[in-house]
Amino acid sequence: MSTESTKTTFSVPTIRCGGCAEAIGEALNRIDGVDAVDVDVQAKTVAVEHETRLTRETLETALDKTGFPAA
């Protein structure tokens, strides 16, 4: 049985370096249902491929908890 997935992109203006990107990636990848995380430091964006059952709010909460809130 396959699970539907989608991609959600966030603007995260507080991303400043590779360490920030690594922390965000590690935190989001721990969430059950997250398939991939792409953090673009220069564009200050985070793209998350995830199962459709995960809401935008769930992902935003995870970003907030890492100290990198979405704008």
**Distance separating alpha carbons of residues 41 and 53, to the nearest angstrom:** 27
pLDDT value, residue 3? 82
The CA angle 29-14-69, to the nearest 5 degrees, is: 55
Domains along the sequence of the chain with CATH: 5-66 (3.30.70.100)
pLDDT tens digit sequence for 8-43? 999 999 999 999 999 999 999 999 999 999 999 999
pLDDT value, residue 41? 97
